[in-house]
A and B are shown apart, each in its own frame.
Chain A
Amino acid sequence: MGEISEQVNQKNALGWAARDTSGLLSPFTFSRRATGEKDVTFKVMYCGICHSDLHMLKNEWGVSTYPLVPGHEVVGLVTEVGSKVEKFKVGDKVGVGCMVGSCRSCDNCANNIENYCRNYILTYGAKYYDGTITYGGYSDVMVVDEHFVVRIPEKLPLDATAPLLCAGITVYSPLRFYGLDKPGMHVGVVGLGGLGHVAVKFAKAMGVKVTVISTSPNKKKESIEHLGVDSFLVSRDQDEMQAAMDTMDGIIDTVSAPHPLLPLIGLLKSNGKLVLVGAPEKPLELPVFPLLLGRKMVGGSNIGGMKETQEMLDFAAKHNITAEIELIPMDYVNTAMERLLKADVRYRFVIDIANTLKSSS
Chain B
Amino acid sequence: MAKSPEEEHPHKALGWAARDSSGVLSPFPFSRRENGDDDVTIKILYCGVCHSDLHSCKNEWGVSRYPLVPGNFMESESLALNAPGCVATHEIVGVVTKVGKAVMKFKVDDKVGVGVMISSCKKCDCCKQDLENYCPQMMLTYNSINHDGTKNYGGYSDMIVVDQHYVLRFPDNMPLDAGAPLLCAGITVYSPMMYYGMTEAGKHLGVAGLGGLGHVAVKIGKAMGLKVTVISTSPKKESEAINSLGADSFLVSTDPAKLKAATGTMDFIIDTVSAVHPLLPLLSLLKLNGKLITVGLPEKPLELPIFPLVLGRRLVGGSDIGGIKETQEMLDFCAKHNITADIELIKMDQINTAMERLARSDVRYRFVIDVGNSKL
Taking the nearest CB of chain A, how far is it from the CB of B192, in angstroms?
Answer: 8
A276-B310, A295-B320 known; A286+B279 contact, CB < 8 A = yes
Taking a contact as CB atoms under 8 Å apart, the answer to whether A300 and B67 are in contact is no
Bin chain A's interface residue count: 35 or more
A-B contact sample (8 more), CB < 8 A, given A288-B297, A292-B320:
A116-B288, A177-B313, A242-B69, A283-B303, A287-B301, A289-B297, A295-B195, A302-B311
Which residues of chain A in 273-318 are interfacial with respect to chain B, using CB atoms and an 8 Å cutoff? 273, 276-277, 279-281, 283-302
The contact string, 1 if C-beta is below 8 Å from chain A, for chain B 65-96, is 11111101000000000000000000000000
Identify 30 residue pairs between A and B in the complex whose beta-carbon atoms are under 8 Å apart, listed by A's number: A116-B312, A241-B69, A242-B69, A262-B67, A263-B69, A263-B70, A273-B315, A279-B306, A279-B310, A283-B303, A284-B303, A284-B306, A286-B301, A286-B316, A288-B298, A291-B294, A292-B320, A294-B134, A295-B195, A297-B316, A298-B315, A298-B316, A298-B317, A299-B309, A299-B314, A299-B316, A300-B308, A300-B312, A300-B313, A300-B315
Taking the nearest CB of chain B, how far is it from the CB of A286, in angstroms?
Answer: 4
The contact string, 1 if C-beta is below 8 Å from chain A, for chain B 280-303, is 100000001000001111100111
Which residues of chain B in 315-346 are interfacial with respect to chain A, using CB atoms and an 8 Å cutoff? 315-320
A245 close to B (CB within 8 Å)? yes
Taking a contact as CB atoms under 8 Å apart, the answer to whether A298 and B304 are in contact is yes
B64 close to A (CB within 8 Å)? yes
Residues of A within 8 A of B317 (CB): 291, 295-298
Taking the nearest CB of chain B, how far is it from the CB of A103, in angstroms?
Answer: 14
Taking the nearest CB of chain B, how far is it from the CB of A277, in angstroms?
Answer: 7
Residues of A within 8 A of B304 (CB): 261, 283-286, 298
A238 close to B (CB within 8 Å)? yes
B131 close to A (CB within 8 Å)? yes
Complex-state Cα separation, A292 to B274, whole angstroms: 12
For the A-B complex, the count of residue pairs with Cβ-Cβ distances under 8 Å equals 123
Task: Mark A residues whose CB is within 8 Å of B.
Answer: 108, 113, 116, 177, 238, 241-242, 245, 261-263, 266, 270, 273, 276-277, 279-281, 283-302
Residue of B nearest to A298 (CB): B316
Complex-state Cα separation, A249 to B163, whole angstroms: 32
Complex-state Cα separation, A256 to B271, whole angstroms: 27
Residues of B within 8 A of A298 (CB): 304, 309, 315-317
Complex-state Cα separation, A277 to B313, whole angstroms: 10
Which residues of chain B in 82-137 are interfacial with respect to chain A, using CB atoms and an 8 Å cutoff? 126, 131, 134
Complex-state Cα separation, A231 to B210, whole angstroms: 46
User: By DSSP majority rule, is chain A's interface helix, strand, loop, or mixed?
Assistant: mixed
Complex-state Cα separation, A301 to B318, whole angstroms: 19
Residue of A nearest to B307 (CB): A279
Taking the nearest CB of chain B, how far is it from the CB of A169, in angstroms?
Answer: 13
B10 close to A (CB within 8 Å)? no
Taking a contact as CB atoms under 8 Å apart, the answer to whether A293 and B320 are in contact is yes
B305 close to A (CB within 8 Å)? yes
Interface size on B, residues (CB 8 A): 40
Taking the nearest CB of chain B, how far is it from the CB of A356, in angstroms?
Answer: 34
Taking a contact as CB atoms under 8 Å apart, the answer to whether B68 and A290 are in contact is yes
Taking the nearest CB of chain B, how far is it from the CB of A63, in angstroms?
Answer: 12
The contact string, 1 if C-beta is below 8 Å from chain A, for chain B 160-171, is 000000000000
Taking the nearest CB of chain A, how far is it from the CB of B303, in angstroms?
Answer: 4
Complex-state Cα separation, A48 to B309, whole angstroms: 26
Complex-state Cα separation, A273 to B306, whole angstroms: 15
Residues of B within 8 A of A302 (CB): 310-311, 313
Interface centre among A281, A290, A293 (most CB of B within 10 A): A293
Residue of A nearest to B309 (CB): A300
Residue of A nearest to B316 (CB): A298
Taking a contact as CB atoms under 8 Å apart, the answer to whether A293 and B318 are in contact is yes
Taking the nearest CB of chain A, how far is it from the CB of B61, in angstroms?
Answer: 8
Complex-state Cα separation, A294 to B70, whole angstroms: 17
* Partner among A108, A116, A177, A266 whose Cβ is within 8 Å of the Cβ of B68: A266
Complex-state Cα separation, A302 to B72, whole angstroms: 34
Taking the nearest CB of chain A, how far is it from the CB of B121, in angstroms?
Answer: 14
Taking a contact as CB atoms under 8 Å apart, the answer to whether A242 and B72 are in contact is yes
Taking the nearest CB of chain B, how far is it from the CB of A282, in angstroms?
Answer: 8
Taking a contact as CB atoms under 8 Å apart, the answer to whether B303 and A289 are in contact is no
Complex-state Cα separation, A296 to B302, whole angstroms: 15
* Partner among B288, B296, B307 whose Cβ is within 8 Å of the Cβ of A108: B288
Taking a contact as CB atoms under 8 Å apart, the answer to whether B310 and A291 are in contact is no
Residues of A within 8 A of B298 (CB): 288
Complex-state Cα separation, A299 to B313, whole angstroms: 7
Residues of A within 8 A of B64 (CB): 289
Taking a contact as CB atoms under 8 Å apart, the answer to whether B310 and A297 are in contact is no
Complex-state Cα separation, A196 to B320, whole angstroms: 32
Residues of B within 8 A of A283 (CB): 280, 303-306
Residues of A within 8 A of B67 (CB): 262, 287, 289-290
Taking the nearest CB of chain A, how far is it from the CB of B291, in angstroms?
Answer: 8
Query: Across chains A and B, which 7 residue pairs bring their CB atoms closest together, nearest first?
Result: A300-B309, A291-B318, A299-B315, A292-B318, A300-B310, A297-B317, A286-B304
